[in-house]
């Protein structure tokens, strides 16, 4: 597309109700107009791509990752259930752009997730804010990192470390801090808020775009295309999708061939107040499947992404390995504190002290570095 052509980029489906209420009911700003389903609009956000991360069968059920020539076998590496002690999954957190400061083709018309249509005509000062750091990771990976003016608490890779923080509470955006940065476009989703702040930014004349707040492997290409389309660099978006797809495909082959899959639990903790077992739709279930293991929360029939940990549930789940975020493990006093959680000491993982921790900013981000994340997790679980 030639520069200056007005493009349309569909960001995603509607966000969660609490965020949608703040955007849909509010009066649109000068940058927001009723949606115009023009025939020539560019729909950068597509449906999730089944099999982009974990392949599915004819009924849509996930299949175990295919073993590759680089994957270990149980005959060569032994039974991973015999491994003792904790390990840390270490990921190279550096973001590698696919292009060097590409020139955005603007203006772009973006259909935001909250039902507004937003015009982006300046990408010189970008603010990308969500709970997981995914949006900023995509912006930097597209080659537009030099245009980013602030960061959320989860954007922890080296290139962004010096940027001012605009979510001091993790979930909450600080309107004053954002307005001081004078962004020309804000990329966000329903995972942060409050919605009043996002509307306040719109009322100040800043284009604010909501993206899909769901996180799983199959949504990665849609998210990349949405952000790239909104910022006027769709070609770089396709390059990034292709590179990310190849890295994930390589990482999926690292699970041992010929083994009964390990049973893995993801525990989310923040001190003594937050102690949750992950289940279907948590994001952790997708990462566990990606390394060829069974997500125990899903297997025992949990019907929510996160459920309060109970002794009965964890003993029934019988995980061989427990995965945790590094700060979450630290917040409960490390491995000794983990053993005090309900039921953990009575599980195979607890008996063998088999906990794998990984940096909070990468484990569930589901962005361009997901291939590296899967690879690091597989090595920590099978070959610590």
**CATH code at 217?**
3.40.50.1980
Same domain, 135 and 224: yes
Same domain, 320 and 288: yes
Q: What confidence score (pLDDT) does residue 153 get? A: 92
The stretch 328-346 carries a mean pLDDT of 97
Rounded Cα distance between 38 and 35, Å, is: 9
The answer to whether residue 81 is domain-embedded is: no
Query: 187 and 227 in contact (C-beta within 8 Å)?
Result: yes
Query: 367 and 138 in contact (C-beta within 8 Å)?
Result: yes
Domain boundary among 187, 213, 248: 248
3-state secondary structure of 136: helix
Q: What is the pLDDT of residues 200-211, one digit of tens each?
A: 999 999 999 999
Does the pLDDT of residue 344 top 80, yes or no?
A: yes
The stretch 269-290 carries a mean pLDDT of 93
Same domain, 103 and 231: yes
Q: What is the pLDDT of residues 230-248, one digit of tens each?
A: 999 999 999 999 999 999 9
Residue 7: which H helix or E strand, with range?
strand 7-10
Residue 69 binned pLDDT confidence (cut-offs 50, 70, 90) = very low
Same domain, 289 and 221: no
The stretch 40-55 carries a mean pLDDT of 55
The answer to whether residue 126 is domain-embedded is: yes
Rounded Cα distance between 305 and 198, Å, is: 26
Same domain, 238 and 311: no
Same domain, 352 and 304: yes
- Tally the domains of the chain: 2
Rounded Cα distance between 281 and 274, Å, is: 18
Q: What confidence score (pLDDT) does residue 170 get? A: 74
Rounded Cα distance between 294 and 279, Å, is: 11
178: closest CA among 191, 159, 196? Answer: 196
Q: Which domain holds residue 329?
A: 253-382
The answer to whether residue 53 is domain-embedded is: no
Same domain, 230 and 263: no
The answer to whether residue 306 is domain-embedded is: yes
Sign of the C-alpha dihedral computed for residues 34, 10, 132 and 56 taken in this order: positive
Same domain, 345 and 229: no
Same domain, 202 and 226: yes
Domain boundary among 248, 283, 307: 248
DSSP state of 70: T
Token representation of residue 378: 């597989």
Same domain, 182 and 305: no
The answer to whether residue 68 is domain-embedded is: no
Rounded Cα distance between 194 and 129, Å, is: 12
Domain boundary among 215, 248, 281: 248
Rounded Cα distance between 263 and 98, Å, is: 36
Same domain, 314 and 352: yes
The answer to whether residue 289 is domain-embedded is: yes
Query: 270 and 302 in contact (C-beta within 8 Å)?
Result: no
Strand partners, 356: 87, 323
Question: Which residues, 6 or more positions from 51, have their beta carbon under 8 angstroms from its beta carbon?
Answer: 218
Rounded Cα distance between 268 and 276, Å, is: 5
Same domain, 21 and 162: yes
Rounded Cα distance between 167 and 190, Å, is: 14
pTM score, two decimals? Answer: 0.82
The answer to whether residue 229 is domain-embedded is: yes
The answer to whether residue 79 is domain-embedded is: no
């Amino acid at each position: 597309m030639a520069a200056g052509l007005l493009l349309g980029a569909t960001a995603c489906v509607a966000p969660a109700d609490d965020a949608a209420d703040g955007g849909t009911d509010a009066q649109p700003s000068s940058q927001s107009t009723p949606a115009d389903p023009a025939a020539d609009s560019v729909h950068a956000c597509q449906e999730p791509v089944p099999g982009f991360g974990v392949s599915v069968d004819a009924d849509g059920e996930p299949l175990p990752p295919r073993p590759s020539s680089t994957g270990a076998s149980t005959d060569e590496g032994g039974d991973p259930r015999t491994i003792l002690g904790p390990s840390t999954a270490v990921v190279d957190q550096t973001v590698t752009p696919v292009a060097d400061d590409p020139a955005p083709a603007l203006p772009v018309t973006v259909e935001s997730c909250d039902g507004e249509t937003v015009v982006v005509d300046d990408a010189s000062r970008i603010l990308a804010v969500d709970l997981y750091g995914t949006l900023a990771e995509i912006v930097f990976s597209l080659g537009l990192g030099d245009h980013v003016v602030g960061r959320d608490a989860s954007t922890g890779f080296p290139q962004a470390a010096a940027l001012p923080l605009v979510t001091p509470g993790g979930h909450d955006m600080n309107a004053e801090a954002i307005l001081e940065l004078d962004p020309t476009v804000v990329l966000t989703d329903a995972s942060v808020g409050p919605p009043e702040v996002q509307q306040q930014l719109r009322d100040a004349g800043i284009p604010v775009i909501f993206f899909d707040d769901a996180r799983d492997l199959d949504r990665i290409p849609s998210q990349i295309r949405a952000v790239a389309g909104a910022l006027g660099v769709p070609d770089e978006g396709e390059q990034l999708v292709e590179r990310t797809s190849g890295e994930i495909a390589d990482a999926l082959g690292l699970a041992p061939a010929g083994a009964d899959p390990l049973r893995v639990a993801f525990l989310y903790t923040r001190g003594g107040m937050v102690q949750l077992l992950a289940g279907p739709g948590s994001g952790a279930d997708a990462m566990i499947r990606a390394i060829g293991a069974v997500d125990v929360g899903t297997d025992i029939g949990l019907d929510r992404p996160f459920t309060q940990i109970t002794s009965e549930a964890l003993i029934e789940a019988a995980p061989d390995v427990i995965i945790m975020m590094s700060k979450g493990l630290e917040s409960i006093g490390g491995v000794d504190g983990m053993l005090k959680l309900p039921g953990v000491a009575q599980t195979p993982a607890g008996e063998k002290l088999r906990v794998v921790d990984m940096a909070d900013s990468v484990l569930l981000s589901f962005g361009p570095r997901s291939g590296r994340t899967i690879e690091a997790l597989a090595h920590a679980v099978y070959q610590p």
